[in-house]
């Protein structure tokens, strides 16, 4: 990605939320900002709850021409008219999934901090690769992605890349020239006004 291009915004839902109030907050964010994609990232494993969330958020997203993918639940994506799936385990067979889901489905892959996993997923046909966290986080083992990985990826690999995890204003400014998307979630949902929080977070992009 060249320095003249502005990264797009990829929203990530909270792992837990009350559907009705979150739906209203989501609408306000989507109405105020140009959002490329929404990821349904519920921690729940209850099929009925996931199905309700998928249907409700699909309606909100598609009414605003925003694509929506679901984390890991491939069958849910197909049954509820979602645009694709975001894989958190890159050991899944992306080539096989592509055949099953079709050429138009979005298949994304989270590859943590590992260039090797990212390259493998890209070569297998993933539509985008996500690396993170880019900021300091107490989750996992506390490891964050090296800036140099994004520099290298943006110069060498055509598959779009997402920078996510513990995103700050300073990191938006730093990673802006070398990423195609910023994955934003917990950074804004816990604030008093998610739309304003997103605007402030993206200030360095102009």
Tens digit of pLDDT for each residue in 13-72?
999 999 999 999 999 999 999 999 999 999 988 899 999 999 999 999 999 999 999 999
Measure the CA–CA gap between 81 and 74, rounded to whole angstroms: 11
Predicted pLDDT of residue 141: 73
Which one, of 192, 164, 22, 6, lies nearest residue 86 by Cα?
A: 164
CA distance 89 to 119: 14
Contact criterion met (CB below 8 Å) for 124 and 157: no
> How far is it between the farthest Cα atoms of the chain?
44
For domain 8-205, the CATH superfamily is: Aldolase class I (3.20.20.70)
Domain ranges of the chain: 8-205
pTM of the model: 0.95
CA distances from 34 to 10, 143, 183, 204 (A): 10, 30, 13, 16
DSSP 174: H
Q: Count of residues for the chain?
A: 206
Q: Which of helix, strand or coil describes residue 10?
A: strand
pLDDT at 150: 98
| Beta-bridge mates of residue 108 | 86, 128
pLDDT of residue 139: 67
Residues of the chain with pLDDT under 50: 1-4
């Amino acid at each position: 990605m060249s320095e003249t291009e502005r990264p797009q915004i990829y929203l990530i839902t909270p792992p837990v939320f009350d559907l009705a109030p979150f739906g209203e907050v989501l609408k306000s964010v989507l109405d105020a900002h140009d959002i490329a994609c929404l990821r349904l990232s519920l921690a729940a494993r209850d099929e009925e709850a996931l199905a309700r969330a998928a249907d409700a958020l699909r309606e909100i997203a598609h009414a605003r021409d925003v694509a929506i993918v679901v984390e890991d639940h491939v069958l849910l994506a197909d049954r509820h008219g979602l645009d694709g799936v975001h894989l958190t385990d890159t050991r899944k067979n992306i080539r096989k999934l592509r055949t099953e889901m079709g050429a138009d489905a979005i298949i994304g892959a989270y590859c943590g901090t590992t260039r090797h996993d990212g390259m493998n997923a890209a070569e297998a046909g993933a539509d985008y690769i996500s690396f993170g966290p880019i900021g300091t986080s107490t989750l996992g083992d506390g490891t964050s992605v090296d800036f140099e990985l994004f520099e290298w990826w943006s110069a060498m690999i055509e598959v779009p890349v997402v920078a996510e995890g513990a995103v700050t204003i300073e990191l938006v400014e730093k990673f802006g020239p070398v990423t195609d998307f910023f994955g934003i979630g917990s950074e804004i949902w816990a604030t008093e006004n998610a739309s304003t929080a997103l605007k402030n977070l993206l200030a360095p992009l102009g």
